[in-house]
Chain A
């Protein structure tokens, strides 16, 4: 069984192996044992509320319980830009026009910005290659939205993700070559590594502060601004399906886009419902396609757990689960759990049964229609 749980001390070796295999391009999880250990410590402090809520780093592990191995990780940074400065370029437009001459020129411009400061970031997603497919990536990514929803006061109203930008097989980034390298005197990989180590002061020191006129950059560099790396396209599509959109900010090194969404608009959040656990001995076939599965979370802040069950297990008031599943989630019959579809477009009755939410009345028609079909409102 695959289950999401907080990252813990024993995860270091598995994490290190995954980071090694991932290679370059994953700046938030470099293959550096000391750094990974510090992240584990910080995650533990966060879940145990031993650090300031704003400084929290919520890292979740995906564990295969049958082999006792950690096969994936994903995270939420409670706030960015608190003790370091968080940089992006804002892709904006400068228009130069002269009525007298009949000239009207539009120049896209990159403006250095710290606009994401104080915003929660979803980050650090990594799945072992032998576990890709079968909805594992969806679980690893979307479990975070259930957590955000459950503990909204710990996070900002808006959350964002930085998507990896375009680079070639040798790790060369066209934007870096045309822009960053002129100022940083180092290779893209090195700058990326330093940035991943949390060593960001060098960016402020070396980065050009004045706006960059894109018309002065070569076509190869202009073409990749706001574009994602080929390998990141599925992740982008997944976030877009959740309601995330490009917000006009791009990575200062590789030009990858920043996508954002308001927590209350995220699909998983809108469609999630609460149910009571009903532990049953009746066997349930667990091997069903992702579209026919739901995520079930135990709603725990400190020991957050999520696994998946076939959609038919969800009843009007309860979720049926085997003792094994209940044990993995750390729940008993009668406990409250949160349920949301694993995959968009899957069969799902709609967001009924959410506790105490007046806002239902103002929701769009599609959702309200679903509600009127259900017997429990």
Chain B
């Protein structure tokens, strides 16, 4: 059985193993250093317990567990406020029309503006799975369990959400956008910058990033082609998020120019289609596979189960699912179709 639950300190080594297998940057918000990761888990635990320090906005880290073996297969996170109390950096891709009436010339000039416009939106982040889980039901469970958590704790999150999707990177580690822009100012390779960005405060970005807008036409052709394009390994995740209702807008990652997806929280598919139900037992394995979540804060659990629901607001699921959710008959759960 697959279970999504809050990360615990004893998950540390398993998470490091999953994160380490991803190479550079599948998720820069998931640190690959033990100490930083331990701090992140600790902060996540406090957040699940309801801590809300204005200096340190809540950040949640979930894990996907195979309950039969007890092994972890992935992680997923939510930052309640993008930037976590500091500026959240993006480029906003915009256009100016340079037109000369006299010469009959009109030309669209694309410009990348440094932006903090997405700061404080709710951010989905740290999404990583073992390669063999990509595109499976468990993959979907891990990603969408977060939406059910948000639905259950709606007041903890903002009205608009964002997700950063990794951008184009070649097999040899080269990132065309970085090589054409960031490298000149940060004087380091992409991997180093990316690590710093997950480890250090973001001050170094403010210090090193060029403050003025960038004309797209002055980037290398390869970098121009990479603007807003996802890394091919992120496509299953991207498609899942698109089905959820996320759309690419005008924002790009400052390091690799990957797309930033945006959505209104209350229109996300899982939030719209999920309902609260009263839990009842069933003896057979009939019904549709659904996402079922129960529990508040630190007690949050989410799993997949065959369920039959009734018009009276009841849902019947196998008893073993109750145990996973740590719930019993008569308790309230939230369910959404897969």
How many residue pairs at the A-B interface have CB separations less than 8 Å?
91
Chain A count of residues within 8 A CB distance of the other chain: 31
Whether A210 is near chain B, meaning CB under 8 Å from some CB there, is yes
Contact mask A173-209 → B, CB, 8 Å, 1/0?
0000001001111100000001000010110011110
Please tell me which stretch of B103-111, B143-151, B260-268 contacts chain A, meaning at least 4 of its Cβ atoms lie within 8 angstroms of it. Answer: B103-111
- Complex contacts, B185 vs chain A, CB 8 Å: 96, 105, 107, 213, 215
**Shortest Cβ distance from residue B122 to the other chain A in the assembled complex, whole angstroms:** 28
Contact mask B180-203 → A, CB, 8 Å, 1/0?
110011111000000010001001
User: Closest chain A residue to B193 by CB distance?
Assistant: A101
Most B C-beta atoms less than 10 A away, residue of A186, A213, A215: A213
User: Closest chain A residue to B200 by CB distance?
Assistant: A100
Across the A-B interface, the 10 shortest Cβ-Cβ residue pairs: A215-B184, A205-B100, A182-B217, A98-B207, A202-B100, A98-B204, A96-B208, A210-B213, A206-B98, A211-B212
- Complex contacts, B196 vs chain A, CB 8 Å: 101
B219 touches A216 (CB 8 A): yes
A101 touches B204 (CB 8 A): yes
A103 touches B203 (CB 8 A): no
A208 touches B186 (CB 8 A): no
- Complex contacts, A182 vs chain B, CB 8 Å: 215, 217-218
* Measured CA separation A202–B186 after assembly (Å): 36
- Complex contacts, A105 vs chain B, CB 8 Å: 184-187, 208
* Measured CA separation A155–B103 after assembly (Å): 34
Whether B102 is near chain A, meaning CB under 8 Å from some CB there, is yes
Measured CB to CB, the residues of A under 8 A from B are 94, 96-98, 100-101, 103, 105, 107, 109, 179, 182-186, 194, 199, 201-202, 205-208, 210-213, 215-217
**Shortest Cβ distance from residue B289 to the other chain A in the assembled complex, whole angstroms:** 48
Partner of B188, one of A103, A107, A202: A103
* Measured CA separation A109–B76 after assembly (Å): 42
Known contacts A103-B187, A182-B217, A216-B218; A96/B111 CB under 8 A: no
User: Closest chain A residue to B183 by CB distance?
Assistant: A215
* Measured CA separation A274–B203 after assembly (Å): 65
B212 touches A208 (CB 8 A): no
B209 touches A96 (CB 8 A): yes
A216 touches B98 (CB 8 A): no
* Measured CA separation A215–B188 after assembly (Å): 14
A217 touches B210 (CB 8 A): no
**Shortest Cβ distance from residue A152 to the other chain B in the assembled complex, whole angstroms:** 37
Most B C-beta atoms less than 10 A away, residue of A96, A183, A201, A207: A96
Chain B count of residues within 8 A CB distance of the other chain: 33
Partner of A96, one of B98, B101, B210, B214: B210
Chain B residues 219 to 271 lying within 8 A of chain A, measured CB to CB, are 219
- Complex contacts, B204 vs chain A, CB 8 Å: 98, 100-101, 103
* Measured CA separation A274–B185 after assembly (Å): 57
* Measured CA separation A321–B189 after assembly (Å): 74
B210 touches A208 (CB 8 A): no
- Complex contacts, B184 vs chain A, CB 8 Å: 105, 107, 213, 215-216
User: Closest chain B residue to A207 by CB distance?
Assistant: B98
* Measured CA separation A288–B217 after assembly (Å): 57
- Complex contacts, A217 vs chain B, CB 8 Å: 218
- Complex contacts, A94 vs chain B, CB 8 Å: 210-211
Whether B99 is near chain A, meaning CB under 8 Å from some CB there, is yes
**Shortest Cβ distance from residue A43 to the other chain B in the assembled complex, whole angstroms:** 26
B103 touches A202 (CB 8 A): yes
- Complex contacts, B109 vs chain A, CB 8 Å: 183, 208
* Measured CA separation A207–B100 after assembly (Å): 10
- Complex contacts, A107 vs chain B, CB 8 Å: 184-185, 210
* Measured CA separation A107–B211 after assembly (Å): 12
B218 touches A212 (CB 8 A): yes
A216 touches B180 (CB 8 A): yes
* Measured CA separation A94–B208 after assembly (Å): 10
* Measured CA separation A216–B183 after assembly (Å): 10
- Complex contacts, A109 vs chain B, CB 8 Å: 212
**Shortest Cβ distance from residue B268 to the other chain A in the assembled complex, whole angstroms:** 37
B217 touches A183 (CB 8 A): yes
Identify 18 residue pairs between A and B in the complex whose beta-carbon atoms are under 8 Å apart, listed by A's number.
A96-B209, A98-B207, A100-B204, A101-B200, A103-B208, A105-B186, A105-B187, A107-B210, A201-B102, A205-B99, A205-B101, A206-B98, A206-B99, A206-B107, A208-B109, A213-B212, A215-B185, A216-B214
| Further pairs besides A105-B184, A208-B215: 11, Cβ < 8 Å | A96-B208, A97-B207, A101-B188, A107-B210, A201-B100, A202-B100, A202-B103, A210-B212, A212-B218, A213-B210, A216-B218
